[in-house]
Amino acid sequence: MNALKTPDYLVFLVYFFIVAGYGYMVYYKKKKGTVSASHDYFLAEGSLTWWAIGASLIASNISAEQFIGMSGNGFQMGLAISTYEWMAGASLLVVAIFFIPVYLKNKIYTMPQFLSQRYNSTVAMIMAVFWLLLYVVVNLTSILYLGALAISSISGINLYVCMYGLAIFAIVITLGGMKVIGYTDVIQVFFLVLGGLVTTYIALTMVADHYHTSGVVNGFKKMMEKSDDHFHMIFKTDNANYPSLPGLTVLIGGMWIGNLNYWGCNQYITQRALGADLKTARTGILFATFLKLLMPIIVVLPGIATYVLYQEGYFQKEMMLNGELMPDKAYPVLLNLLPTGLKGLAFAALTAAIVASLAGKANSISTIFTLDIYKKKLNANASESQLVKTGKIAVLVAMLIACLLSPFMGIDKKGGFEFIQEYTGFVSPGIFAMFILGFFWKKTSSNAALFATVGGFALSIFFKFIPSLIDLSFLQPYGFTTLIKHTDGSSLYEIPFMDRMGFVFIICVIVMYIISKIDYRRGIKTNGLEVDRSMFKLNNTFAVGALLIAGILVALYSFFW
């Protein structure tokens, strides 16, 4: 039965009051401080510790798309979907070593500010408006709707009650500013990890019990034995899931572009570290990387366990919708089997992931709108209190728009995690090219950046639809195309979206180089950032931690190749 019982509600209320109470305590202490009101609200400047930064990065990143969508992908394709988490760990190390020093050295607090400082106000404003639209119309709506859908399926509470409840909870946290978000995220991550591990424990135990053995270790061994095809990280071209994770591209191609863009060029994420000093920021990111390695245990293994049990005759009705198998139902189906009390803990974990992600997104929307649009274009002389007030209004408006739009976006019909990754990939290559050249090549011009902004998106669309114009079967032997069968009976050789990202990125870099060279010969000046080798020097603690993570990743990919 899809309903919570009294002990479940009690567990959830304990979680709610701990988060809300701790958030109020942090907010009250913050009000007594003398830090700049706007910087304290938007960035928590100088006040987040390394463990708060690391926890906040993970809490903001993990949401319904992982718990529901990635578990669904675990059901469908297996452990290979973990590459998004494990390669994110590698990407976080690159961001900590090379990106964060550039931001902090040049006193960059928002991504549009970087674009304005490095290129010009036109590029910055275009991207500020774009990011606002992306965050509100795509991200907030997706998190709200998928989150509400998951919580409704577990609790039996009305979908819209869940949606508005999540929004209100997130607003309460967001209105306290970045410091409140950062420190309450520590609690959110605790519940997220604890509840997630409990769910995984129950799932593995169920598998063990079904095969007349006991313990999570034996359950895991049985999962590997009964679903060997679900424990390979690198797909071959004949694998049905190859279009989603095209072979070695996950290690040397488009996966890097998507991850580096997300973790290094994204206001929503980098904001956590931009208010700290370099050592604190790097240590926080290192902590987040270790947590990232843990995520597949929490979100992917339950999906595989559900698959194994489904193959044995379990969940035959629960996994279906209108006569079709729905992999995204794997996690909610599993949660509904948890005993009373533990179900409340898992419910709290899922809620924590959703609320933390919503709060982080809303704060980034508030920051970009207030500092990069309101202050620059609408009220240049705004006081500190006016900026904070405007930021809070922006949070309320953004959340209300998301609540009103989300039921009409067809989010539930578009798939889960993989859909979000693919369509984010339409803009990632151009943005990442603009950032990476802007960081490390002083001759990169504003015209080149404009091309990356607009041209990168146009190229992504071109590569998406080119199969309907040209027969790309000649690329199939090289793994760059795969035959996709559509519901109307037609079939086309299409380019996997990760390979599209790689192609678009390479083209953007080449064209940006040409445009910048032409602009340089025309005498057009560029605004290079302050960059020197000493910025990238590592302390011993970080270096040891980074080497340990690299070793773990090599071991994981070697064992599950």
CATH label of the domain that carries residue 376: 1.20.1730.10
Report CA dihedral (46, 47, 50, 51) to the nearest 10 degrees: -170
Query: Into how many domains does the chain fold?
Result: 1
pLDDT band at 198 (very low <50, low <70, confident <90, very high): confident
Q: Is residue 149 part of a domain?
A: yes
pLDDT digits (tens, 9 = 90+) for 502-529: 999 999 999 999 999 999 999 888 887 8
Does residue 15 form part of some domain? Answer: yes
On whether residue 524 sits in a domain, the answer given is no
Mean of the pLDDT values across residues 394-408? 87
Mean local confidence (pLDDT), 232-251: 88
% of the chain surpassing 70 pLDDT: 89
Q: Is residue 512 part of a domain?
A: no
Residue 414 placed within a domain: no
**Vertex 503, ends 502 and 506: CA angle to 5°?**
85
Tokens of residue 158, six digits? 């009305």
Which pLDDT tens digit goes with each residue over 212-223? 998 899 999 999
> Is residue 216 included in any domain, yes or no?
yes
The two beta strands, 482-485 and 324-325, are unpaired
- Mean local confidence (pLDDT), 54-61: 79
Q: What is the domain range of residue 151?
A: 6-85+121-258+280-405
Q: Angle at the Cα of 197 (from 546 to 270), degrees rounded to 5?
A: 40
- Least confident span in 242-246, 417-421, 529-533: 417-421
Of residues 426 and 24, more confidently modeled: 426
Gap between the Cα atoms of 371 and 319, Å rounded: 46
Give the bridge partners for 483, in sequence order. 493
- 33 vs 197, more confident: 197
Does residue 431 belong to any structural domain of this protein?
A: no
Q: How confident is the model at residue 418, as a pLDDT? A: 65
Query: Is the model's pLDDT at 35 over the cut of 60?
Result: no
CA atoms within 13 A on the CB side of 96: 27
Q: Looking at per-residue confidence, does 36 or 458 come out higher?
A: 458
pLDDT over 80 (residue 368): yes
- Where is pLDDT greater, at 211 or 111? 211
Average pLDDT of the chain? 83
pTM of the model: 0.84
Cβ-defined contacts of 316-320 (< 8 Å, 24+) = none
**Tens of pLDDT, residues 472-507:** 777 777 677 776 766 666 677 888 888 889 999 999
List of E strands, 239-396: 320-321, 324-325
Q: Could you tell me if residue 346 is inside a domain?
A: yes
